[in-house]
Chain A
Amino acid sequence: MTNSSTTLNGAPQPRPNRDIIISVRDLVVGFGDKTIMKGLNLDVYRGEVLGFVGGSGQGKSVLTRAILGLVPTRGGSIRIFGQDRDALGPIERRALEQRWGVLFQNGALFSGLTVKQNIQMPMRETRELSQHLMDELAMLKLELVGLGSDAADKFPSELSGGMVKRAALARALALDPELVFLDEPTSGLDPISAAEFDELIGTLQQTLGLTVFMVTHDLDSLYSICDRVAALAEGRVIASGPLETLLASDHPWLRAYFHGVRGGRLSAARVEQKDEEWKPAPTTP
């Protein structure tokens, strides 16, 4: 691997011109006598969409939860927005938590509140706003994520899977966070909805200037919206960088992932598409 931004089994090279928003160093996480993360290193840069891939049960969700502080760590450091998360006091922690938004895999909407109340929850608890403005902002967020106003007064149990994801994304964006964690945002959606959701994330990311940390299995999402991809295996980030460098990697797991039956079909299709684009336009007489 010659690309400077991609390394195998080591810390990513510092890129001085870009702001690092999450920096994980030598992270060790385990449960009981099982160690899941064995000295994991990862950097997320400001303004990028990082796709995070890994086999089922490799601990993608555990890493997300460790960064969020939901899982105790055994070693290493996690710096977010340049602050060491473990060194923060409770007040600073809360201030930090208001700067990120999280979309949980199953939405995790509060089932006793309507969609609108769900979105207003973080605003109500941490900001002093008039009910009128909160209503407007909640409706605006709903519209941004592509939900109509008729969804606003529904309860989560009355929503379809895709609507739950959108509503949960609206809640994650309620406070206009700088950093958004998405845990498998397109899982359980049909290809059309998934593509729309990808596009939505892309649009919002550009509009709001978000940094997106996205755990995903969806190869389409990786191709369409991720600026950089990090791959997790054997408790470490085995490679990170633009998708092309990961595709070119000869790590056995990466080869199986991207050039296996499903991944292979997709990358072949993408390559064909690109070839067609390269063809000169037919000349008209």
Chain B
Amino acid sequence: MTVAALQRPPKVTRQASAEGVRLSLSGDWTLVASQHLENEGRRIIDEARRDRMVAIDLSAVSQLDTAGAWLINRARHDLARRDIAVALEHVRPEYSTLLEETHYRAFEPPSRPRFNLVVALLSDLGESAVDALREFYRGVSFLGEFMASMIYVATHPQRFRFTSLVAQIELIGFRSVPIIVLINVLVGGIVAQQGIFQLLKFGASSYTVSLIGILVLRELGVLLTSIMIAGRSGSAITAELGSMKMREEIDALLVMGLSPIEVLIAPRVLGLIISLPILTFIADMAALFGGMVVSWWYGGISPVAFASLLKDAIALHTFMVGIIKAPFMALVIGLIASMDGLATQGSAESLGRQVTSSVVKSIFMVIVMDGLFAVFFASIDY
């Protein structure tokens, strides 16, 4: 609401009288006047500064709220500090309680701890290093807890929540199929197009099929699937566990003597471990299909030729390299997502931060893992 829309803006009118000065306040001394109110509050002091005696007349004040009363009281206090006698006149009874309740008091601004920039920088650096190590330690201990509960479940299969596992496989695996197929068809097609286009310069466009086959089966299929699942399901797991933590549902499980890892996390992580290889297989097929279509349409390689070239280019182990990686990626995504979910604090902001951190960390770890596997497979010559 603007000041122009005010019907009765707050106003201070000065009249010199025999004893000193008389300030008549009029209009609505309410927050609606915003800045105008604050300025008029300041004007009380400005107008009365030079006098010994001030009478503030409230008879024409049509409305008063806490902000207005506070400003009047603050002005009175400021004037009194300058040894100016202030008297309030014609205070309506309903305003006197308000003026009493909002009597002036000094609010101590919270003491800001002073800090040295260099020290702060170094301590931040140290803190983040320690945090990173602690995070790693927590990750390893969480992995241990998860493994222990897996072993417990393996020896007590009746304790395992199969319904929940199936529900998670549906959510994580089945419902991701369309998006996984879509992006992999596109990426397969793009790799094929680029392969044909670039290799044509050497007259080696038929090698495109080897390129697609090896790249997709060894790396792209599993990598794209893992990244997609980290973004899609990892974030969902973190958000779900995080809001359960905020609503004390995790605490409720704990005091019932149930382990959140066994009840909530095991089905989710196992669901991921089962879903991801299947999704990777689907992703591989989709990417090969995309590559085949583009090779045919853009490179003139017929599907029959594509199939026979592919058969020469790849072996079972090419396919297995990708599939073997999938459950490990799933484990990493699941553990990071669950850990971050359980680390959520009380606020909505914290939940958002945890979800972001979970997705960023899982994608980063998926790529790191992929690098480690590449080194490993190269060194065992697989």
Q: Which residues of A line the B interface, CB within 8 A?
A: 95, 98, 111-112, 123, 126-130, 133, 135-137, 139-141, 143-144, 149, 152-153, 155-158, 173, 175-176, 203, 206-209
Within 8 A of A (CB), among B81-104: 94, 97-98, 101-102
Whether A112 contacts B347 by the Cβ 8 Å rule is yes
B346 in the interface, Cβ–Cβ < 8 Å? yes
Cβ contacts B343-364/A at 8 Å (1 or 0 each): 0011111100000000000000
Stretch at the interface among B64-72, B149-157, B167-175, B213-221: B64-72
Contact of B347 among A127, A152, A156 (CB under 8 A): A156
**Contacting residues, chain B, for A173 (C-beta < 8 A):** 66
**Contacting residues, chain A, for B108 (C-beta < 8 A):** 149
Cα distance A153–B66 in the bound complex, in angstroms: 22
Whether B347 contacts A157 by the Cβ 8 Å rule is yes
Whether A139 contacts B107 by the Cβ 8 Å rule is yes
Contact of B107 among A95, A135, A155 (CB under 8 A): A135
B257 in the interface, Cβ–Cβ < 8 Å? no
Whether B65 contacts A111 by the Cβ 8 Å rule is no
Whether B348 contacts A111 by the Cβ 8 Å rule is yes
Q: Can you report 10 A-B residue pairs in the complex whose CB atoms are below 8 A from each other? A: A112-B347, A112-B348, A135-B109, A137-B67, A140-B70, A140-B107, A143-B105, A144-B102, A149-B108, A158-B346
Cα distance A139–B67 in the bound complex, in angstroms: 12
Give chain A nearest CB distance to B40 CB in angstroms: 12
B31 in the interface, Cβ–Cβ < 8 Å? yes
**Contacting residues, chain A, for B349 (C-beta < 8 A):** 111-112
Whether B102 contacts A140 by the Cβ 8 Å rule is yes
**Contacting residues, chain A, for B97 (C-beta < 8 A):** 206-207
**Contacting residues, chain A, for B35 (C-beta < 8 A):** 127-129
Cα distance A137–B65 in the bound complex, in angstroms: 11
Q: Which residue from chain B places its CB closest to the CB of A95 in the assembled complex?
A: B1
**Contacting residues, chain B, for A123 (C-beta < 8 A):** 31
**Contacting residues, chain B, for A175 (C-beta < 8 A):** 31
Whether A207 contacts B101 by the Cβ 8 Å rule is yes
Whether B1 contacts A126 by the Cβ 8 Å rule is yes
Given contacts A143-B105, A156-B347, contact A137 B66 (CB under 8 A): yes
Whether A208 contacts B98 by the Cβ 8 Å rule is yes
Whether A155 contacts B347 by the Cβ 8 Å rule is yes
Nearest 3 interchain pairs by C-beta: A157-B346, A111-B347, A176-B65
Whether A207 contacts B107 by the Cβ 8 Å rule is no
B113 in the interface, Cβ–Cβ < 8 Å? no
Cα distance A123–B66 in the bound complex, in angstroms: 13
Whether B34 contacts A157 by the Cβ 8 Å rule is no
Cα distance A149–B97 in the bound complex, in angstroms: 22
Whether A149 contacts B107 by the Cβ 8 Å rule is yes
Cα distance A62–B94 in the bound complex, in angstroms: 34
**Contacting residues, chain B, for A207 (C-beta < 8 A):** 97-98, 101
Cα distance A98–B2 in the bound complex, in angstroms: 13
**Contacting residues, chain B, for A155 (C-beta < 8 A):** 346-347
B203 in the interface, Cβ–Cβ < 8 Å? no
Whether A127 contacts B346 by the Cβ 8 Å rule is no
**Contacting residues, chain A, for B57 (C-beta < 8 A):** none
Whether B66 contacts A127 by the Cβ 8 Å rule is no
Cβ contacts B45-67/A at 8 Å (1 or 0 each): 00000000000000000000111
Cα distance A154–B340 in the bound complex, in angstroms: 24
Whether B65 contacts A208 by the Cβ 8 Å rule is yes
Cα distance A140–B71 in the bound complex, in angstroms: 12
Give chain A nearest CB distance to B250 CB in angstroms: 15
Beyond A156-B346, A157-B345, A173-B66, 16 additional pairs, beta carbon < 8 A = A111-B349, A111-B350, A112-B349, A129-B31, A129-B34, A133-B67, A136-B70, A136-B74, A140-B102, A143-B105, A149-B110, A157-B347, A176-B31, A207-B101, A208-B98, A209-B94
Cα distance A142–B102 in the bound complex, in angstroms: 11
B280 in the interface, Cβ–Cβ < 8 Å? no
Cα distance A209–B63 in the bound complex, in angstroms: 11
Cα distance A127–B105 in the bound complex, in angstroms: 23
Whether B110 contacts A153 by the Cβ 8 Å rule is yes
**Contacting residues, chain A, for B94 (C-beta < 8 A):** 209
**Contacting residues, chain B, for A143 (C-beta < 8 A):** 105
Given contacts A123-B31, A127-B31, A129-B38, contact A137 B101 (CB under 8 A): no
B184 in the interface, Cβ–Cβ < 8 Å? no
Whether B346 contacts A111 by the Cβ 8 Å rule is yes
Within 8 A of A (CB), among B12-48: 30-32, 34-35, 38
**Contacting residues, chain A, for B66 (C-beta < 8 A):** 137, 140-141, 144, 173, 176, 208
Q: Which residue from chain B places its CB closest to the CB of A135 in the assembled complex?
A: B107
**Contacting residues, chain B, for A136 (C-beta < 8 A):** 70, 74, 107
Whether B70 contacts A152 by the Cβ 8 Å rule is no
**Contacting residues, chain A, for B110 (C-beta < 8 A):** 149, 152-153
Cα distance A169–B56 in the bound complex, in angstroms: 32
**Contacting residues, chain A, for B74 (C-beta < 8 A):** 136
Given contacts A111-B347, A157-B345, A207-B97, contact A128 B34 (CB under 8 A): yes
Give chain A nearest CB distance to B88 CB in angstroms: 17
Cα distance A176–B109 in the bound complex, in angstroms: 23
**Contacting residues, chain B, for A127 (C-beta < 8 A):** 31-32, 34-35
Q: Which residue from chain A places its CB closest to the CB of B73 in the assembled complex?
A: A140
Cα distance A133–B347 in the bound complex, in angstroms: 28
